[in-house]
């Protein structure tokens, strides 16, 4: 998708600190971390968000979730705990319209979220 920030990261046009990758998904450190562990997991193929995703996107979105858990385990926060977040729309603070899963951990996370 032209002019999509995360498509440009997938294409290597914008640098990112990649922590995990396979043929379908990319995991990289958030540029403005909100916790000691803050990684974004994205599908390499552009999907706008979970609300507009189709049935055919389900395996890929499931794969994004599994990669998020793998990243958390590899970052050493599985026992202490972590949070997976998908923002959608203005009230959530969504800023980048390419589906991305936040993996947050390494500190006590407030609930309900702010
Ligand atoms: P959201 O608010 O859910 O759309 O999250 C977008 C996230 O992307 C924010 O946490 C940003 O800090 C992060 N972000 C924006 N630009 C970059 C970048 N170039 N590399 C890594 N993370 C980024
Ligand atoms: Zn994109």
For residue 95, the Cα-to-chain-centroid distance in whole angstroms is: 13
Which tokens belong to 5?
A: 């920030």
Within the chain, residue ranges assigned H as helices are 5-10, 58-74
For residue 114, the Cα-to-chain-centroid distance in whole angstroms is: 19
Q: How much distance in Å is there from the Cα of 100 to the middle of ligand 1?
A: 9
Q: What is the DSSP string of 6-17?
A: HHHHHTTSS---
Locus of tokens 């046009």: 13
pLDDT at 114 over 90: no
Backbone angles phi, psi at 85, to 5 degrees: -130, 135
**In terms of Cα–Cα distance, which of 33, 50, 42, 44 is closest to 104?**
33
- Residues enclosing ligand 1, CB less than 6 A? 5, 14, 16, 28, 30-32, 40, 87, 93-96
Rounded to two decimals, the pTM is: 0.98
Instruction: State the CATH class of domain 5-105.
Output: alpha beta
| Residue of minimum CA distance from atom 15 in ligand 1 | 31
Closest ligand, as measured to the CA of 98:
2
Q: How much distance in Å is there from the Cα of 102 to the middle of ligand 1?
A: 9
Q: Hey, which residues are catalytic here?
A: 100
What is the tens place of the pLDDT at every residue in 8-28?
Answer: 999 999 999 999 999 999 999
What is the tens place of the pLDDT at every residue in 40-69?
Answer: 999 999 999 888 999 999 999 999 999 999
């Amino acid at each position: 998708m032209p002019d999509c920030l995360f498509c440009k990261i997938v294409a290597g046009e914008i640098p990112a600190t990649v922590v995990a990758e396979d043929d379908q998904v990319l995991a990289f450190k958030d540029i403005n971390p909100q916790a000691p562990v803050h990684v974004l997991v994205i599908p390499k193929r552009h999907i706008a968000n979970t609300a507009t995703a189709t049935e055919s996107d389900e395996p890929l979105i499931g794969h994004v979730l599994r990669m998020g858990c793998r990243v958390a385990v590899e970052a050493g926060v599985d026992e202490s705990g972590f949070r997976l977040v998908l923002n959608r729309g203005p009230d959530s603070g969504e800023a980048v319209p390419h589906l991305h899963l936040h993996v947050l951990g390494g500190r006590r996370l407030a609930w309900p979220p702010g």
